[in-house]
Structure formats: C-alpha cells, structure tokens
Amino acid sequence: MSLHEQKKQLRDEIKKRRSELPVNSRTKMSQQIHQFLHEIDEFIQAKSLFCYISYLSEVETQALISDFLERKLALAVPKIMGKTEMRAVSLDNLSDLEPDEMGILTPKSSQAASDPFDIAITPGLGFTERGERLGYGRGYYDRWFSRNKVKTKIGIAFEIQIVDKLPLEKTDMPLDILVTEERIIDLRVTK
C-alpha cells in the first residue's frame, strides 16, 4: 500500500471514529481540553495567537476564540486562498466571519496578519505521542508552518485520535505540545 493510500485509510478511520462521538461528549471533552490549555505557561502568557475555527466533529474552538477576543489578544485565524495557500488573517470580532463554500467559518478579509505568533492552536485528524500530526491531506498547515514563525505549536485532539504510528513525509511538521481531554503531552522534553 502506498503512503498516500495509508494516509487516506487512516484519515477515513479516524474521521469515522471522531464523528461517532456524541455531540454532548465532544462538547465536554472540548471544555476539558480548554481547561488543560490554561495550565500551559506559554498559553497563559501568549499575546499573539493563531487558532483554527472548528468544523464538524473537530475539537471545538469557538469558546477559545471568544475568550481570546474578550481578552483583546492579537488573534489570527486561517483563510484558505486557492488550492495551496493558507493565510493567517487577523480577527477582531466574530461578526467578521462568514461561511466559505464548504460551510467553514472564515474571515471576510484576506489581509494577512504578521508573524511571529506565540501560539498556534492546530487541528488534525491523527496524532502520535511523539508530536507527529496527520492533517486533512492538503498540506496547508505544514506549508504555513514552514513560512511563519510560531514559538509554540499546540495540537488539540480527542484521545481517540491518538495512534501509535503515522505514515509521514519529510514535509510533515511536528508539534511542541499535544492536548487531549485526558492529558497534556509536552513533546519538547522528548525531542
């Protein structure tokens, strides 16, 4: 089986597993993940953040985003530009978001925010305890990380998204910290 086929099979398997979680369980687990984030020094001290906007069965981020906006932190969220580019666009208000063609909330503006970012809250389908990440297959985050300065990359996921091994490519960017509803894994101490 090719690397591409392995990744596709794993993506389908984890997506199914995650979508089978009841909505109320996902909400409770997302809240626990948010509580764990508030135990991480880098997160507490962050002044500039990049955070994905959750969609479908992902770890929910709307409450985090609202919290960042209330605290008047420099917040940027992703905006997909064409087939290969993702930009970090500043967000000052939730009313500055609109659904894109897939229904994912995205900034109305396309004006890129400037890095560096103290924290990047990163989505994914699969993760390992070593900080390896399996995205959705388009490479947006790996390319974005290779071109933008981020002090601490934090992946957030449900425990059921943790796997022993991932099929990886050289371009796959590792995380610094992984947070689930059960634990905080600081990957910098194992690197």
Cα distance between residue 140 and residue 168, in whole Å: 15
pLDDT at 190 over 60: no
Instruction: Categorize the per-residue pLDDT at 93 as very low, low, confident or very high, splitting at 50, 70 and 90.
Output: very high
pLDDT digits (tens, 9 = 90+) for 3-14: 778 888 888 999
How far, in Å, are 5, 7, 8, 35 from residue 119 at the CA level? 32, 27, 29, 16
Q: Domain containing 157 — which CATH number? A: 3.40.50.10420
The predicted model scores a pTM of 0.92
Could you give the angle at which helices 23-37 and 62-70 cross, rounded to 10 degrees? 40
**Cis link prior to 116 (omega < 30° from 0)?**
yes
pLDDT of residue 170: 74
pLDDT digits (tens, 9 = 90+) for 155-187: 999 999 999 988 777 777 789 999 999 999 998
- Mean pLDDT (whole number) for 30-51: 96
pLDDT of residue 84: 83
Instruction: Categorize the per-residue pLDDT at 191 as very low, low, confident or very high, splitting at 50, 70 and 90.
Output: very low
Residue 125 sits in which domain range? 3-189
Cα distance between residue 139 and residue 134, in whole Å: 10
pLDDT of residue 138: 81
pLDDT at 1 over 90: no
Question: How many domains is the chain partitioned into structurally?
Answer: 1
Percent of the chain past pLDDT 70, that is, above it, reads: 99
